[in-house]
Amino acid sequence: MSKSRNILLDVLRLTKRPKLQNHTSFLASRPNSTASPNPFRTPKGIPKPAPPRRRILQALVGGATFATVVGAQFEERTDAKANIDQVEASEKKPRQIRLHEVRQHNAASREPWVTKGTSVYDITDWVDAHPGGDVILRAAGGSIDAYWNIFTIHKKQDVYDILEQYKIGEIDETDLIDGHVPQDAIEDPFVTDPARDPSLRVLTAKPCNAETPPEALSDFLTPNPTFYVRNHMWVPVVEEPESEYRLSIELPDGEEKSYTIKELKERFPMHKITVTLQCSGNRRKDMTVHAKQTNGLQWTAGAISSAEWEGVKLRDVLADAGIGALGQKLPEDARHVQFMGLEAYGASIPISKAIDPLGDVLLAFKMNGEELPRDHGYPLRVVVPGNVAARSVKWLRKIVVSDEESLSQWQRRDYKCFGPNVSNPDWTKAKSIQEMPITSAITSVLSPSSTEESRNQLTVEGYAYSGGGREIVRVDISTDGGKSWDQAELLSDSTKGSKAWCWKRWRYTGPCRSCDETTLVVKATDEAYNTQPESYEAIYNPRGNLATAWHRVSYAPGT
């Protein structure tokens, strides 16, 4: 491991872990922060009237979108003083800075710098206000471009305007190669990511987003190495033992409790629950193909997998911490349970789901009988059965019980749907996806054998899944493009948990009605008798979420 990497890891340890270990809140340990029972309690979309620094910190801790905070900051910076600063800056000849100087202003420095293109910025005053938190220090001493290529939400004018305010100079031309800052000056944040199974179908390598291959989709429980991977960032490196890794829980009254993993395991009953996790973008590529272009990872039918998860129930831990015990009245402001990952990802679920005796929300340590793999949240993740996988936050470090949803972009923006006519959504107008709608997919087609009696027999297999623990009650198959239907056999797999949290595997063997070239179609029905939409046009959304229309697969005998 390189020296700079060690420094970065030290910085991350220094800035995060001691606070959790001391049972003090992240906010309280910061300079300039005023005492507050719950910094997350801000009215939706309207910042509280508070001192500028305080206001930004609220958003930072809550994991607000960069854009939200940027808005506030930009407003502050348009005062008279800021204008004068800008005018003065534009009149000076840019200072020429050598690359080795930049490297000294790394994460360990009191004055961290970054470069963007050939410009140099002193971000010392910005670190505290950065919505992603201290993560920005990973870029200190080098270029921020690689990070912004990952976190593309930064790529807009109002964010550029913020950064421009911290500009201190330009990289000396001596250090440029063909006019660019050389590539080896950029720290690769993914160098510590785990090795992965080569059969995974990789959509993006950094961060890793990879589908379960079709052959692994035929298992009821997906083997850990081929369980689909959906990472928003790099995989955090955790080196503490179980007796030191702490999960902190902040209650609406501001009180904060914490538990080491060792304590969680010793103090609460362990449960095993079989749960399917599915990305909201599963089968997004179908929507692109059958309707029109969508933004986001072009998953086929493999952004879904199932496992037996083992851990303690969130409701038991919350009750111990003081929220939602049996017979106890919930405080009015306990409406959402926010989860924060080590890598800055955040999301939340409604409190009703968190404390539902039949909700089965787990704080999981194990996956299919093994220690959680690093890609799937080692050492601790949430598993929210029946909900979109985006709420099952990995590398869990903090829980906040709040009157508000998580402020993260993954709660407030990305995982929502709009009408098929809406190209430029007002994100505040839609509910974040929690329970998933019903869906199904064909995962394999076995060609008829060459014997006379089976020449017109097809065997088709796949899965069906519905959110909210709603059991799949029927799978309809068409071998003539949807003109006529038959029912698939539903396989009897052994599940664990209070509701139907797992996909239903199905198999259809029957006559192929038009066994020339044809389209095979599957649609499923759940116990609330909800069914899938027929086509993509009427559920189209530019983000390509919830691509759940009938799954159509072209089939030609002999192919």
Q: Which of 133, 302, 385, 467 binds a second copy (CB under 8 A)?
A: 467
Tokens encoding 430: 């839609």
Minimum Å gap between C-beta 432 and a second copy is 10
230 is catalytic: yes
As a whole number of angstroms, the distance between CA 462 and CA 441 comes to: 6
529 assigned to active site: no
Which of 161, 279, 297 lies closest to 228 in space, CA to CA? Answer: 279
Residues in 302-331 at the binding interface with a second copy, rule: CB under 8 A: 326-327
1 binds a second copy (CB under 8 A): no
Q: Are 362 and 312 in contact (CB under 8 A)?
A: yes
Cβ 269 to a second copy, closest distance in Å?
13
CB 138 within 8 A of CB 189: yes
471 lines the binding site for a second copy (CB under 8 A): yes
Confirm whether 5 is a catalytic residue: no
Q: Which stretch binds a second copy (CB under 8 A): 7-15, 49-57, 207-215, 523-531?
A: 523-531
* Least distance CB 416 / a second copy (angstroms): 9
Q: How far is the CB of 523 from a second copy (least distance, A)?
A: 7
Write out the two tokens for 69: 């905070």
In the set 415, 536, 540, 555, the catalytic residue is 415
C-beta contacts of 285-289 below 8 A and 24+ residues apart = 285/547, 286/536, 286/547, 286/549, 286/551, 286/552, 287/536, 287/539, 287/540, 287/544, 287/547, 287/549, 288/544
Q: How far is the CB of 430 from a second copy (least distance, A)?
A: 7
Tokens of 114: 């970054």
**Four-CA torsion 316, 320, 325, 330, nearest 10 degrees:** -120
Considering only CA atoms, give the Rg of the chain: 25
Q: How far apart are CA 538 and CA 549, in angstroms?
A: 9
* N residues, the chain: 559
CB of 468 to a second copy, least distance (A): 6
Quick note: the x/- pattern for a second copy over 489-508, rule CB under 8 A, is ---------x----------
Q: Backbone phi, then psi, for 285, in 5-degree steps?
A: -60, -35
Q: Point out which span in 48-56, 181-189, 241-249, 428-436 binds a second copy (CB under 8 A).
A: 428-436
Smallest distance from the beta carbon of 436 to a second copy, in angstroms? 7
Q: Return the closest-CA partner of residue 448 out of 513, 522, 492.
A: 513
Please report, as residue ranges, which positions from 340 to 399 form the binding site for a second copy (by CB under 8 A): 352, 356, 358
**Judged by CB under 8 A, which of 107, 279, 546, 547 binds a second copy?**
546
The one segment of 4-12, 117-125, 244-252, 431-439 that binds a second copy by CB under 8 A: 431-439
Choices 129-137, 259-267, 292-300, 526-534; region in contact with a second copy by CB under 8 A? 526-534
Instruction: Please state, as a whole number, how many other Cβ atoms lie within 10 Å of the Cβ of residue 315.
Output: 24
Nearest to 113 by CA among 170, 154, 74, 71: 170
CA angle 476, 479, 483 (to 5 degrees): 75
Q: Which is nearer to a second copy, 146 or 417 (CB)?
A: 417
Q: Give the total of residues touching a second copy (CB under 8 A).
A: 46
Buried b / exposed e along 437-446 (16+ C-beta atoms within 10 A): bbbbbbbebe
For a second copy, give the closer residue by CB, 50 or 490: 490
Nearer CB in complex with a second copy: 104/535? 535
| Whole-angstrom distance, CA of residue 57 vs CA of residue 39 | 9
If the CB atoms of residues 238 and 430 are measured against a second copy, the closer one turns out to be 430
Site string for a second copy, 403-422 (x = CB under 8 A): --------------xxxxxx
Catalytic residues: 130, 154, 230, 279, 415
* Residue ranges binding a second copy (CB under 8 A): 326-327, 352, 356, 358, 417-422, 430-431, 433-438, 467-468, 470-471, 473-474, 476, 482, 484-487, 498, 523, 525, 527-535, 538-539, 546
